[in-house]
Chains A and B, each alone.
Chain A
Amino acid sequence: MYRTISRAAGAAAGLCLTGAAPAFAQSVDETVNQIFANSTGWFVSFIFSPFPGTSFPWIVAWLVIAATVFTIYFVFIQFRAFGHAISLVKGDYSDPNDAGEVSHFQALATALSGTVGLGNIAGVAVAVGIGGPGATFWMILAGLMGMATKFTECTLGVKYRNEYEDGTVSGGPMYYLTKGFAERGLPGGKILAVMFSIFCILGALGGGNMFQANQAHQQISGIVGDYPGWITGVIFALVVFAVIVGGLKSIARVTEKVVPFMGVTYVLAALVIIIMNADMIRWAFGQIFQGAFTGLGVAGGMVGALIQGFKRAAFSNEAGVGSAAIAHSAVRTKEPITEGFVSLLEPFIDTVVICTMTALVIIISGQLLTDPETGLYLVGESGMIQTADGTSGVSLTSAAFASAFGWFPYVLALAVVLFAFSTMISWSYYGLKAWTYLFGEGKNKEIVFKVIFCIFVVIGASANLGPVIDFSDAAIFAMAVVNVLGLYFLMPIVRRELHSYLERLKAGEIKKFH
Chain B
Amino acid sequence: MSGKFVVGYDGSEAAQRALEFAIDRAAAQGGSVLIAHVLEWSPYSFLTPNELEERHKRRREELERAETALMAPVVKAASGKGAEIESVIRYGRIAEVLCDIAKENEAGQIFIGRNGHSAWGARVFGSVASALVQTAPVPCTIVP
Binding site for B on A (CB under 8 A): 91, 94, 96, 99-103, 105-107, 109-110, 113-114, 166-170, 249, 252-253, 256-257, 259-260, 326-327, 330-332, 425-426, 429-430
Q: Which of B47, B62, B100 has the most CB of A within 10 A?
A: B47
Cα(A339)–Cα(B48), bound, Å? 17
Contact B50 A102 (CB under 8 A): no
Contact A101 B46 (CB under 8 A): no
Contact A100 B59 (CB under 8 A): yes
Cα(A170)–Cα(B49), bound, Å? 11
Contact status of A102 and B47, CB under 8 A, knowing A110-B52, A330-B53, A330-B55: yes
Which parts of B97-116 form the interface with A (CB within 8 Å)? Answer: 100
Spot the interface stretch: B37-45, B69-77, B124-132, B135-143. Answer: B37-45
Contact status of A425 and B92, CB under 8 A, knowing A99-B41, A102-B55, A167-B57: no
Cα(A256)–Cα(B45), bound, Å? 9
Cα(A429)–Cα(B59), bound, Å? 21
Chain A residues with CB under 8 Å of B56's CB are: 101-102, 167-169, 332
Cα(A217)–Cα(B110), bound, Å? 56
| Distance of A239 from chain B, by nearest CB (Å) | 14
10 A/B residue pairs, CB under 8 Å, sorted by A? A99-B41, A101-B56, A106-B43, A106-B46, A107-B52, A110-B47, A110-B49, A256-B46, A256-B47, A332-B56
Cα(A103)–Cα(B49), bound, Å? 13
Cα(A9)–Cα(B47), bound, Å? 43
| Distance of B68 from chain A, by nearest CB (Å) | 17
Q: Which of A103, A114, A327, A430 has the most CB of B within 10 A?
A: A103
Chain A residues with CB under 8 Å of B50's CB are: 252, 429
Binding site for A on B (CB under 8 A): 39, 41, 43-57, 59-60, 62-63, 90-92, 100
5 closest Cβ pairs, A-B complex: A100-B91, A167-B57, A103-B43, A99-B91, A330-B52
Cα(A106)–Cα(B51), bound, Å? 10
Contact A94 B43 (CB under 8 A): yes
Contact B41 A100 (CB under 8 A): yes
Contact B62 A110 (CB under 8 A): no
Contact status of A114 and B49, CB under 8 A, knowing A99-B92, A105-B43: yes
Residue of A with least CB distance to B46? A256
Cα(A110)–Cα(B59), bound, Å? 18
| Distance of A267 from chain B, by nearest CB (Å) | 17
Contact status of A252 and B48, CB under 8 A, knowing A96-B92, A99-B41, A101-B59: yes
Contact status of A102 and B90, CB under 8 A, knowing A96-B100, A109-B46: no
| Distance of B121 from chain A, by nearest CB (Å) | 21
Contact status of A253 and B48, CB under 8 A, knowing A91-B43, A101-B56, A167-B56: yes
Cα(A177)–Cα(B35), bound, Å? 48
Residue of A with least CB distance to B63? A100
Chain B residues with CB under 8 Å of A257's CB are: 46
Chain B residues with CB under 8 Å of A101's CB are: 55-56, 59
Residue of B with least CB distance to A430? B49
Chain B residues with CB under 8 Å of A103's CB are: 43-44
Contact A425 B48 (CB under 8 A): yes
Q: A249-B48, A429-B50 are in contact. List 15 more A-B contacts (CB 8 A).
A: A101-B56, A101-B59, A102-B56, A106-B43, A107-B52, A109-B47, A113-B46, A114-B49, A167-B56, A169-B53, A249-B51, A259-B46, A327-B49, A330-B55, A426-B48
Cα(A99)–Cα(B45), bound, Å? 12
Q: Which of A102, A166, A253 has the most CB of B within 10 A?
A: A102
Cα(A99)–Cα(B63), bound, Å? 12
Contact A106 B59 (CB under 8 A): no
Chain B residues with CB under 8 Å of A332's CB are: 55-56
Residue of A with least CB distance to B92? A99
Chain A residues with CB under 8 Å of B51's CB are: 249
Cα(A249)–Cα(B49), bound, Å? 12
Contact A99 B90 (CB under 8 A): yes
Contact B49 A426 (CB under 8 A): yes
Cα(A372)–Cα(B81), bound, Å? 90
Chain B residues with CB under 8 Å of A113's CB are: 46
Contact B49 A106 (CB under 8 A): no
Chain A residues with CB under 8 Å of B91's CB are: 99-100
Contact A110 B57 (CB under 8 A): no
